[in-house]
């Protein structure tokens, strides 16, 4: 699984602590190292190393889950549509180069749009352009639904039981997205998800759901939701209804190694969502959050190919403080 990468392509180990990385804002970055700093998004050296580390750990994975969020934490005026698409293309090309024969299931993160967070409920230039970049991984039908709303569904390649990947655009439900605030079902994605899971049940398929922004609350800030309340309720009800089909969910967004449990109305656990940390070590600026930085991490899951049941999750991390003055990893 690849969780938020967020390259800081302008990162530099500069003598001036205010000129190391734009994502630090006005905070001075002291003792910056080759592999990054906790106030900065990931330098390209770290991004490149993380993808090649994945190849070294497991050269031939069944597939890669890329849960999005690819541009740095900088103000909108420092980016634009062209910059956003260029960064997505650069990361896409790197993954294709290192894993040329591997199926990748990518999702969009809340920073993969301009202006950030403001994902529309219908077709637009960024959806269309991103669909073209990812077309080698997406079949023709997936390209069509991605252009319309940045979500899609595909069967996993296998000679065994039918298994399906459902990739959502949960940025439509994000509480910072003002484009969808008055909508009940942005882009018709909830209805599409209902229909997809119903069809999967009829076909006796098992499903993984992939997305970026997760439902629920942020562990590092009490009472901080990611979805608007009515969207959170709708998503939860869909999982409760279709939990027999949904084997696991994989999301990102808040750079924190965590998980979500879903329960039925009787209080019994029925589904799990895995949240992994990010490649970027950037420390969140969300007010009220302490110790919001993280060491870069990637995650490897072992699963049953017949049932999709997750068996083992292994996490590989780089300690930025230890490695910051090292010339290699």
- Six-digit token string for 219: 């562990």
**Residue 4 confidence (pLDDT):** 56
Cα distance between residue 262 and residue 59, in whole Å: 33
All structural domains of the chain, each given as residue ranges with its CATH number in brackets, are: 74-92+107-294 (3.30.750.180)
Share of the chain above pLDDT 70, in %: 94
Is the CB of residue 106 less than 8 Å from the CB of residue 148? no
**Nearest alpha carbon to residue 311 among 319, 320, 301:** 301
Is the CB of residue 79 less than 8 Å from the CB of residue 114? yes
SS3 label, residue 134: coil
In this prediction, residues 198-209 reach a mean pLDDT of 97
**Residue 61 confidence (pLDDT):** 95
Cis check for the bond before 115: say yes or no (omega within 30 of 0). Answer: yes
Is the CB of residue 126 less than 8 Å from the CB of residue 84? yes
pLDDT digits (tens, 9 = 90+) for 220-265: 777 889 999 999 999 999 999 999 999 999 999 988 788 999 999 9
Q: How many CB atoms lie within 10 A of CB 229?
A: 9
Q: Higher confidence at residue 123 or residue 9?
A: 123
């Amino acid at each position: 699984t690849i969780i938020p990468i967020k390259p800081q392509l302008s990162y530099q180990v500069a003598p001036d602590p205010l000129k190391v990385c734009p994502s630090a804002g006005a905070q001075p970055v002291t003792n910056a190292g080759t592999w990054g700093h906790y106030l900065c998004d990931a330098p390209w050296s770290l991004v490149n190393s993380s993808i090649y580390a994945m190849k070294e750990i497991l050269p031939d994975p069944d597939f890669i889950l890329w849960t999005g969020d690819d541009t740095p934490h900088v103000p909108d005026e420092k980016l634009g549509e062209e910059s956003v698409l260029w960064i997505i293309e650069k990361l896409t090309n790197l993954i294709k180069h290192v894993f040329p024969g591997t199926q990748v299931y990518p999702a969009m993160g809340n920073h993969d749009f301009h202006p950030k967070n403001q994902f529309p409920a219908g077709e637009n230039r960024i959806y269309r352009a991103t669909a073209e970049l990812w077309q080698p991984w997406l079949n023709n039908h997936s390209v069509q639904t991605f252009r319309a709303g940045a979500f899609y569904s595909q069967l996993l390649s296998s000679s065994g039981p039918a298994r399906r990947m459902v990739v959502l655009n949960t940025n439509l439900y994000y509480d910072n997205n003002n484009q969808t605030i008055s909508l009940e079902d942005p882009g018709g994605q909830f209805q599409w998800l209902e229909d997809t899971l119903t069809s999967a049940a009829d076909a006796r398929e098992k499903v993984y759901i992939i997305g970026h922004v997760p439902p629920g609350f942020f562990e590092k800030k009490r009472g901080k939701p990611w979805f608007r309340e009515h969207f959170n309720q709708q998503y939860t009800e869909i999982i409760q209804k279709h939990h027999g089909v949904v084997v696991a969910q994989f999301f990102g967004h808040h750079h924190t190694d965590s998980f979500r449990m879903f329960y039925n109305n009787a209080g019994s656990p029925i589904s799990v969502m895995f949240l992994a940390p990010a490649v970027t070590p950037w420390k969140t600026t969300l007010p009220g959050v302490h110790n919001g930085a993280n060491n870069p991490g990637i995650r490897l899951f072992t699963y049953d190919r017949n049932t999709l049941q997750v068996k083992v999750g292994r996490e590989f991390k780089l300690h930025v403080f230890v490695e910051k003055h090292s010339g290699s990893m």
